A = this chain, B = another copy of it.
Amino acid sequence: MTQVKENSTRNYNKGISINNCPVTYVMNKIGGHWKPIIIHQLMSGPKRYSELRKAIPEITEKMLIQHLKQLQTDDLVNREARPVVPPVVTYSLSPLGTDLTPVLNAMVEWAFRAQQC
């Protein structure tokens, strides 16, 4: 029975609220290797699961659905499943997810300015 350390920063940061640090809050939502890439793909319009896989060839299926699920629970993407066979599942950005555009744009702008120095 291995003890879980409740008061570690690791655990603390998980439940961090917007009031503690808004930037950390955002990082928890869109941080990591894959989430920004997935969001970026969906910014060019809704896509089926298989289309996302083709658009991001390096991602594994596990990572793809795992992050898509997380993005759903965070209300950044919507999932629409048509009950046909073979299944047709379409993912799209929610209004909240669409609102991320200025954030990602600011990042891209900074990235190019950083490159020039």
Contacts and interface: CB of A to CB of B under 8 A. Distances in A.
A37 B18 contact: no
State the majority secondary structure of interface residues on A: helix
A60 B25 CA distance: 20
Given A24-B36, A31-B31, A36-B23, A12 B58 contact: yes
30 contacts: A9-B33, A9-B60, A13-B33, A18-B111, A21-B36, A21-B40, A22-B112, A23-B37, A23-B107, A23-B108, A23-B111, A24-B33, A24-B36, A25-B114, A26-B108, A26-B110, A26-B111, A27-B31, A27-B36, A31-B31, A75-B117, A96-B113, A99-B110, A99-B114, A102-B109, A102-B110, A103-B103, A103-B106, A105-B106, A106-B106
